Amino acid sequence: MEDDDETRVSLAKQGVLAGDGPGRPGGEALDAVVSGASYAVLGLFGALYGLVGSFLQGWTVNRFPVAAIVLVLLLFAAVRLAGWGMGGRAGPTIIALTWLVVVFIMSNNGPGGDLVMPAELGGKTDYAGYVYIIGGLAAAVLAVLRVRPSGSSGQWLLGRAGRTPR
């Protein structure tokens, strides 16, 4: 076997010739597009979850907010899984922020004075809206904090001095 053939075999084993290794042409651009699309899908998921959850959170059993508690637990799981899947805190943070924005919009008065989530404490008011908003916010923050950061420990504190060249 010639030296040129051995080099090709070695490069093929590393994935460089097949187009799937770190030296592939246009690989960084493709990674950026896939990452951007993933973050967009996570943002869309957070917004849809906040919208649907705002309408479903009012289901109660004898004024016990069963649906709100289940939705909060599902939000925690979704944010945690997004962190695991994306390998950092950016993905779960996007879900949490888009969920929070939609929920706060849905908790305000509409143009006709209608509310999706009632905001009054007293009388026969079910507290499902408060459980969903406050519990969901707490669950999302805890889930984001449970995700390991993608960088090394203390990197945010050191700034550029703590970064190693790649």
pLDDT, one tens digit per residue, over 88-115 is 899 999 999 999 999 999 888 777 766 7
The whole-number average pLDDT for the span 133-152 is 89
What is residue 37's predicted lDDT score, i.e. its pLDDT?
93
The whole-number average pLDDT for the span 46-62 is 91
What is residue 120's predicted lDDT score, i.e. its pLDDT?
58
d(CA 21, CA 38): 21
Q: Is pLDDT larger for residue 45 or for residue 65?
A: 45
* 67 pLDDT more than 80: yes
3-state DSSP assignment of residue 113: coil
The pLDDT mean for the chain works out to: 80
The whole-number average pLDDT for the span 128-155 is 86
Query: Which of 46-60, 105-119, 136-150 shows the lowest per-residue confidence on average (mean pLDDT)?
Result: 105-119
What contacts 90, CB < 8 A, 6 or more positions away?
39, 150
Both tokens of 15, joined, read: 């994935």
Q: Are the C-beta atoms of residues 134 and 127 closer than 8 Å to each other?
A: no
What is residue 157's predicted lDDT score, i.e. its pLDDT?
65
* 128 pLDDT more than 70: yes
pTM score over 0.75: no
d(CA 89, CA 83): 6
d(CA 46, CA 94): 7
What is the enclosing helix (H) or strand (E) of 95? helix 90-106
* 69 pLDDT more than 70: yes
